[in-house]
Structure 1
Amino acid sequence: MNEFETLREEIAAKRIQLGVHIRKMNTPGSPVYRYSENIVWPFALVAVAIGGMMLVNIHVGMALMMAGIVWWLWKEHPKTKEAVFQRSAVLALSDVRIFDGLWAKGALTLYVETPGGQRLAATRRDDWRGFVRKVVAETAG
């Protein structure tokens, strides 16, 4: 049995869920890191706030900063997290060696809810191949 192909099929069928450690994957040096998502928006937010402080007064600048932070947390941050998750999932499922490397770094987890309602998870300390074999055996039997 090729566990990696089975894992890909199980994820595609939504029987196994792939979890991604967003903080580990969204750092400089990660293959899925995008500077435009992490540097441009905060820099623009600070620039607008400083502009408001210089052109009007400190209160307007701080109000702009607070509004920008709230906007970024509610609108942009969830988009960034989803984009990092999607890029990480595509990368991880593209090759078994990449998956193994990300698994060893603790960037990936696997989740499943068995037909009996029991929730199982596999993390870096666990063998993902054994987890896939176990889940397939339980769902088949």
Structure 2
Amino acid sequence: MTELEALRGMIDRGEVQLGVHIRKMNSPGSPVYRQMENVLPLTGLLIASLLGIWLIHFYVGAAILMAGTIAWMIKVQPRIKAGVFERSAALALESELNFDALWAKDALTLYAKLPDGTERAAARKHDWRAFVRGMPGSGFGA
């Protein structure tokens, strides 16, 4: 059993939480970035606001912009964040090469709360393999 297989099992059992740096992963150049997911809703909002200003009145355009921004923050942004997390986690847990690349990019973190109440966390400056090997129930004799 490899460390990645053990980590997958611990994540599935809820013993370890995988954290994803959403801003880093939802940026151009990231393998999980989807430009249209980010640009299309905001472009539509801006066009609707400008049309409201042009066709009706400044206050209507401002109201469209404000309502659209609030709707985007409440409905669209959480969906984008969840999608980026899911795609990033799937990519990272697909292979050790992917996990190592995202770990080196400082896009991933690991967190565990042990049964005795102690907490353990690991980020880029730590060795994620040592974190996994040190966890009870990992199969590495911690």
**TM-score range, shorter-chain basis?**
over 0.9
Percent same amino acid at aligned positions? 48
Task: Report the Cα distance in structure 2 between the residues aligned to 1:125 and 1:34, rounded to whole angstroms.
Answer: 28
1:120 partner SS: strand
List structure 1 segments (4+ residues) > 3 angstroms apart after TM superposition: 137-141
Quick one: structure 1 residues 53 and 26, their matched pair in 2 at CA, closer, same or farther if it must change by over 3 Å? Answer: same
1:98 maps to 98
Distance 1:28 1:8 in 2: 27
Q: 1:118 to 1:138 in 2, by over 3 A?
A: farther
User: How many Å separate the matches in 2 of 1:72 and 1:118?
Assistant: 38
Residue by residue, what CA displacement relative to the aligned partner does 1:17-64 show, whole Å, maximum 9, x if unpaired? Answer: 100000000011111111121000000000000000001111110010
1:57 corresponding residue in structure 2: 57
- 1-structure distance, mates of 2:59, 2:117: 54
2:82: which partner in 1? 82
Tell me what 1:120 maps to: 120
Q: TM-score, normalised by structure 2?
A: 0.94
RMSD across aligned C-alpha pairs, in angstroms? 1.6
Which consecutive unaligned segments of at least 5 residues does structure 1 have? Answer: none
Question: Is the Cα–Cα contact under 8 Å of residues 110 and 122 in structure 1 kept in the other structure?
Answer: yes
Which moved further from structure 2: 6-15 or 129-138?
129-138
* 5+ residue gaps, structure 2: none
How far the C-alpha of 1:138 sits from its partner, in A, is 8.6
Partner of 2:38: 38
Counterpart CA distance in 2 for 1:138 and 1:11 is 11
Q: Count residues with an aligned counterpart.
A: 141
